[in-house]
């Protein structure tokens, strides 16, 4: 039973990886400011979730008073992440930006050890190291020594730090707050934060061509609903470190999609690196299995304490 449930979770992780891999591609296709694209990505997702609002009225009432501030902070940092990472794609390549994002599990691992005493097996750390080697190799041939590219890389690093904070807050909150309530409120706060930023920056909120609105909608459905929402749901069953390691597959998917759809080149070294990264992710996930407490409303992921 637990093994079958674990297999289903890995399938959901794979779907999420494919979905978030489209995020960078859609950003590259869009000519709208990154903050506008991020804002509509989030607010349109809320619009999709709105019909179920009444069905979860009891779950909304169950949220603790002291959790509302944490939810809001999680949303603000998610908005900051989208702003910085999407903007980074205006200055650097898909491979470079998404590779930098894979620093996330390293930061999550360090922070989880410090905050939650989360420990993993030594064999899982070997998988982490192998995946990170693959990550570096993917981006090695694509990094450009220029002010513009370095600025884009710097934005991606800051965006990674923001999403790490968002994920850590989420791991704590998802043990008490249902997936729907967490997703709806955090996305709403993130979208409104970007709306405030856009107004302060003097960016127009409307007046974009039809193809841009289509891209806004695609960003809401594919990488957000089928990507980030799915990962937020998985936080209830899987540790934040495992989720972050599975997201290491994003630069593989994004680099391949950029090669096919955008014409960005992918050398032999990067192809080999993709294989290394996938193997490293698999080793880590096989050695950092989630612990389940079967309950529809109170299931939590127990942190791994194995050495």
Among 19-28, 98-107, 174-183, 287-296, the range scoring the smallest mean pLDDT is: 287-296
Is 300 among the domain residues? no
pLDDT at position 191: 97
User: Is the pLDDT confidence value at 301 over 60?
Assistant: no
Query: Confidence band (pLDDT; 50, 70, 90) for 94?
Result: confident
pLDDT at position 224: 87
pTM confidence score: 0.78
Q: Percent of the chain, pLDDT > 90?
A: 36
Query: Confidence band (pLDDT; 50, 70, 90) for 142?
Result: low
Structural domain span for residue 232 = 2-53+63-287
Q: Say how far residue 134 (Cα) sits from the centre of its chain.
A: 19
Is 297 among the domain residues? no
Is 307 among the domain residues? no
Q: Which of 106-114's residues contact partners 24+ apart within 8 Å by CB, and which partners?
A: 106/132, 107/160, 107/161, 107/164, 108/164, 108/167, 108/168, 108/240, 108/241, 108/244, 109/241, 109/244, 111/164, 111/168, 112/168, 112/171, 112/239, 112/240, 112/241, 112/303
Is 161 among the domain residues? yes
Q: Percent of the chain, pLDDT > 70?
A: 83
Closest CA to 154 of 106, 111, 90: 90
What's the pLDDT tens digit per position in 18-62? Answer: 999 999 999 999 999 999 999 999 999 999 999 999 999 999 999
User: Is the pLDDT confidence value at 138 over 60?
Assistant: yes
Is 14 among the domain residues? yes
The number of distinct structural domains making up the chain is 1
User: Which two three-digit tokens encode residue 266?
Assistant: 């992918």
Is 127 among the domain residues? yes
| Residues in Cβ contact with 22 at an 8 Å cutoff, skipping those fewer than 6 apart | 218, 222, 223, 253, 254, 257
CA distance 42 to 216: 9
What's the pLDDT tens digit per position in 144-153? Answer: 556 677 788 8
What's the pLDDT tens digit per position in 164-205? Answer: 899 888 877 877 888 889 989 999 999 999 999 999 999 999
Query: Confidence band (pLDDT; 50, 70, 90) for 293?
Result: very low
Select the highest-mean-pLDDT range: 63-67, 151-155, 207-211, 242-246: 207-211
What's the pLDDT tens digit per position in 118-132? Answer: 666 777 778 878 877
Dihedral (CA of 168, 171, 174, 175) sign: negative
| pLDDT greater at residue 116 or residue 180 | 180
Cβ atoms 245, 281 nearer than 8 A: yes
pLDDT at position 302: 30
CA distance 246 to 249: 6
Partners of 291 in beta bridges: 302
pLDDT at position 307: 39
CA distance 250 to 18: 7
pLDDT at position 145: 52
Is 167 among the domain residues? yes
Is 140 among the domain residues? yes
Mean pLDDT score, 83-93: 91
Cβ atoms 161, 101 nearer than 8 A: no
CB atoms within 10 A of CB 80: 22
């Amino acid at each position: 039973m637990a093994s079958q449930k674990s297999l289903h979770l890995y399938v959901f992780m794979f779907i999420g990886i494919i979905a978030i891999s489209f995020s960078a591609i859609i950003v590259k296709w869009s000519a709208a400011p990154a903050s506008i694209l991020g804002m509509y990505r989030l607010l349109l997702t809320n619009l999709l979730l709105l019909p179920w609002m009444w069905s979860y009225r009891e779950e909304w009432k169950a949220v603790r008073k002291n959790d509302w501030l944490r939810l809001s902070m999680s949303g603000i940092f998610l908005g900051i992440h989208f702003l910085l990472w999407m903007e980074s794609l205006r200055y650097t390549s898909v491979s470079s930006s998404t590779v930098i994002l894979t620093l996330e599990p390293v930061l999550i691992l360090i922070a989880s050890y410090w905050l939650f005493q989360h420990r993993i097996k030594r064999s899982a750390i070997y998988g982490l190291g192998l995946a990170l080697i693959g990550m570096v190799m993917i981006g090695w041939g694509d990094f450009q020594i220029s002010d513009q590219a370095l600025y884009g890389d710097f934005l991606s690093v800051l965006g990674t730090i923001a999403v790490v904070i968002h994920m850590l807050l989420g791991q704590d909150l998802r043990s008490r707050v249902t997936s729907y309530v967490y997703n709806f409120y955090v996305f709403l706060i993130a979208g409104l934060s970007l709306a405030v930023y856009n107004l302060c920056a003097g960016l127009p909120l409307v007046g974009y061509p039809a193809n841009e609105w289509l891209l806004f909608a695609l960003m809401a459905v594919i990488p957000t609903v089928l990507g980030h929402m799915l990962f937020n749901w998985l936080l209830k069953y899987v540790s934040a470190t495992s989720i972050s390691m599975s997201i290491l597959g994003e630069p593989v998917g994004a680099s391949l999609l950029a090669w096919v759809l955008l014409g960005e080149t992918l050398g032999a070294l990067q192809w080999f690196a993709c294989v290394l990264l996938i193997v490293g992710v698999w080793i880590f996930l096989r050695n950092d299995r989630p612990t389940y407490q079967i309950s529809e409303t109170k299931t939590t992921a127990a942190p791994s304490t194995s050495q």
